[in-house]
Amino acid sequence: MKIISPREFVDVILMRQYEDGTMLSAATNVEHPLCPPQANFVRGYNYPCGCFCIPLPGEPDRTQLLSFFQTDLGGYLPQTVVDSFFPSSIAGFYSNLTKAVKALKA
């Protein structure tokens, strides 16, 4: 029924791994002339955000996670829609993050 328009975000992302094994992924919204807003999408906005994956000493298969996100989905969405959509979106993000960290450690 297309009652919720698809979203797009344009971010610059920095990824870094430190000597102690800590991994950082940091991002923020950018505007770029090669990425103009598209007619079929609502442009969302990510404030400075990111996460640290910090190794736990003596536990090589475990990681402490510190993350911070603040997103403006753009357009008009009733809060009830945001509240029902966002938890599954964040869960998907953490699932993908787990896979990415495992791939980087391999």
Q: Who contacts 56 (Cβ-Cβ below 8 Å, separation ≥6)?
A: 62, 63, 64
For the entire predicted model, the pTM comes to 0.74
Percentage of the residues of the chain whose pLDDT score is greater than 90: 51
Fold of 7-105: Alpha-D-Glucose-1,6-Bisphosphate; Chain A, domain 4 (3.30.530)
Q: Could you state, in order of their start, the residue ranges of all structural domains in the chain?
A: 7-105
Tell me: pLDDT of 95 over 70. Answer: yes
Q: How far apart are CA 62 and CA 73, in angstroms?
A: 32
Write the pLDDT tens digit of every residue in 7-57.
899 999 999 999 999 999 999 999 999 999 999 999 999 999 999 999 999
**How confident is the model at residue 1, as a pLDDT?**
44
